[in-house]
């Protein structure tokens, strides 16, 4: 009887130890998952090409929807950076509509403008088209100050710091040709300023964010050789003063730099929305798609059943201590359609081999690790229970046999 009681106690101890081991390992798994799911240091958004005032698309509705999505998905956003073409014609009424919608949806989030070709006064066939481009530029600066709350903005190119990182905004300037919509001109002054800003930004050992309307040549969708998108500034015959190749050469000296551009409206599902730094010797590049309407690899816009241009997308940028995660969102369908991670400690070569990121439909990112940990705990606990029961049964059988022997 004493021996039977000892075996029962022993089996109970084994069961307890197995269960404790299972919970311990499971806790370590959950701790590992928690570490993997660290919160970003901060995040911001990048959008563009709202084309406010374009009657061929849903500019007002799409802009409001985009801001509402940003408010819903990332209320913690530090800022919204734009890549230009806020307006379709650069008129005061269009800027006022932008300001009104923003003040209604996201009044406290600063929005930093980069100038687009349409913001320079694209009103063909009207008297306004004879207005000097410099006046349209002044209007842009006025509303760039208003939207950001930064009264120090006094040009179409400027910089500021976001959580310590430099944000460098480039912009086409006035030329003697007075070409409102299609001219792209980067002065020697702006080019030299860009070099100085990039060098200063590199001293912080933090990511550098560069914002420009037209993409640099042969980087992201819409800028690739042979795509021939209207307004692409990579034709030296049409844009002899753009210096975009020179700007790209400067950016590519800094692998911690990420360049965001717009202009082409090319959707995230296109051929090359992202170029990730491959061997730590060049910048990374992101196409920001468009809030106003989308373009695709067939070099045509996306239209709805009513014949209007449609589609609306933008970027969410999450900054961590060792990486940056950039996610593209379909605002109208409220889903993620792009995700790309950029390492800040090296090792992007593998990512660069496939510069079109896999889409994700999970707003919070994949939770496979968490599911695996939970599953492992359940399996371990069940195994411990089965083993304990088996031992108990064995003890019972052994005791019964021993008891029977004594009776004989």
Res 185: pLDDT = 84
39: phi then psi, degrees, rounded to nearest 5: -75, 145
Q: Tell whether 358 and 381 lie within a shared domain.
A: no
Q: How far is Cα 234 from Cα 298, in angstroms, rounded to an integer?
A: 19
Residue 331, both tokens:
């605002």
CA-CA distance, 324 to 308, in Å (whole number)?
Answer: 35
Furthest-apart CA atoms within the chain: distance in Å: 119
Residue the block writes with tokens 């700007």:
247
The answer to whether residues 152 and 222 belong to one domain is: yes
Q: Is the same domain home to 261 and 402?
A: no
In this prediction, residue 385 carries a pLDDT of 57
Q: Are residues 359 and 377 in the same domain?
A: no
Tokens representing residue 238 in the block = 């049409």
Task: Clarify whether residues 329 and 379 are in a common domain.
Answer: no
CA torsion 359-363-367-370 (nearest 10°) is: 170
Same domain for 25 and 93, yes or no, is: no
The Cβ of residue 226 has, within 10 Å, a number of other Cβ atoms equal to 4
Task: Kindly state whether residues 333 and 346 are assigned to the same domain.
Answer: yes
Is beta strand 313-319 parallel, antiparallel or unpaired with respect to 323-330? antiparallel
Query: Given this model, what pLDDT does residue 148 score?
Result: 98
Q: Which domain holds residue 398?
A: 2-36+369-407
Q: What is the pLDDT of residue 221?
A: 80
Q: State how far the Cα of 311 lies from the Cα of 308, in Å rounded to an integer.
A: 10
**Which residues in the chain show pLDDT less than 50?**
2, 4, 7, 10, 16, 18-19, 22-23, 25, 27-35, 230-231, 347-377, 379, 395, 397-408
Helix pair angle (368-407, 2-36), 10° resolution: 180
Q: Can you give the pLDDT at residue 397?
A: 45
Q: Burial of 221 by CB count in 10 Å (0-12 exposed, 13-18 middle, 19+ buried)?
A: buried
Over residues 138-155, the pLDDT tens digits come to 999 999 999 999 999 999
* Residue 217 and residue 180 in one domain: yes
Q: Which residue from 396, 389, 405 is spatially nearest to 18, judged by alpha carbons?
A: 389
Instruction: Examine the domain organization and report whether 324 and 336 are in the same domain.
Output: yes
Report pLDDT digits (tens) over 269-314.
Answer: 888 888 876 655 689 999 999 999 999 888 888 899 999 999 999 9
Q: What separation in angstroms does the CA of 209 have from each of 216, 270, 277, 287?
A: 15, 23, 14, 13
Place of tokens 């030296």: 236
% of residues, the chain, pLDDT over 90: 51
- In total, how many domains does the chain have? 2
Indicate which CATH number applies to the domain containing 109: 3.60.21.10
Question: Within this chain, do residues 199 and 93 fall inside the same structural domain, yes or no?
Answer: yes
């Amino acid at each position: 009887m004493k021996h039977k009681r000892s075996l029962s106690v022993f089996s109970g101890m084994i069961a307890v130890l197995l269960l404790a081991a299972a919970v311990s390992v499971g806790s370590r798994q959950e701790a590992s998952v928690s570490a993997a799911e660290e919160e970003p240091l901060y995040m911001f958004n990048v959008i563009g090409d709202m084309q406010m005032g374009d009657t061929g698309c849903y500019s007002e509705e799409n802009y409001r929807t985009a801001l509402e999505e940003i408010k819903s998905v990332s209320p913690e956003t530090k800022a919204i950076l734009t890549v230009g073409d806020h307006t379709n014609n650069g008129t005061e009424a269009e800027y006022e509509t932008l300001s009104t919608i923003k003040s209604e949806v996201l009044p406290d989030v600063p929005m930093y403008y980069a100038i687009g070709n349409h913001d320079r006064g694209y009103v063909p066939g009207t008297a306004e088209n004879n207005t000097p481009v410099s006046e349209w530029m002044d209007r842009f600066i006025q509303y760039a100050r208003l939207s950001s709350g930064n009264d120090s903005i006094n040009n179409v190119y400027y910089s500021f710091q976001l959580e310590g990182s430099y944000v460098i905004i480039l912009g086409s300037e006035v030329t003697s040709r007075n070409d409102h919509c299609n001219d792209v001109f980067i002065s020697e002054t702006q080019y030299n300023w860009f070099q100085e800003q990039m060098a200063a930004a590199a001293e912080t050992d933090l990511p550098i964010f560069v914002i420009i309307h037209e993409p640099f040549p042969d980087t992201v969708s819409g800028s690739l050789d042979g795509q021939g998108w209207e307004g692409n500034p990579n034709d030296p015959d049409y844009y002899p003063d753009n210096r975009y190749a020179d700007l790209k050469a400067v950016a590519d000296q800094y692998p911690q730099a990420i360049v965001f551009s717009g202009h082409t409206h090319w959707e995230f599902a296109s051929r090359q929305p992202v170029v990730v730094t491959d061997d730590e010797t060049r910048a990374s590049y992101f196409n920001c798609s468009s809030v106003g309407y989308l373009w695709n690899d067939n070099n045509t816009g996306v239209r709805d059943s009513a014949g209007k241009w449609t589609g609306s997308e933008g970027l969410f940028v999450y900054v961590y201590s060792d990486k940056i995660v950039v996610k593209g969102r379909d605002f109208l369908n409220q889903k993620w359609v792009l995700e790309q991670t950029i390492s800040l400690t090296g090792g992007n070569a593998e990512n660069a081999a496939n510069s079109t990121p896999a889409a994700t439909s999970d707003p919070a990112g994949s939770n496979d690790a968490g599911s695996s940990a939970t599953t492992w705990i359940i399996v371990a606990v069940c195994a411990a229970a089965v083993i304990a029961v088996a031992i108990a049964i064995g003890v019972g059988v052994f005791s019964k046999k021993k008891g029977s022997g004594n009776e004989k």
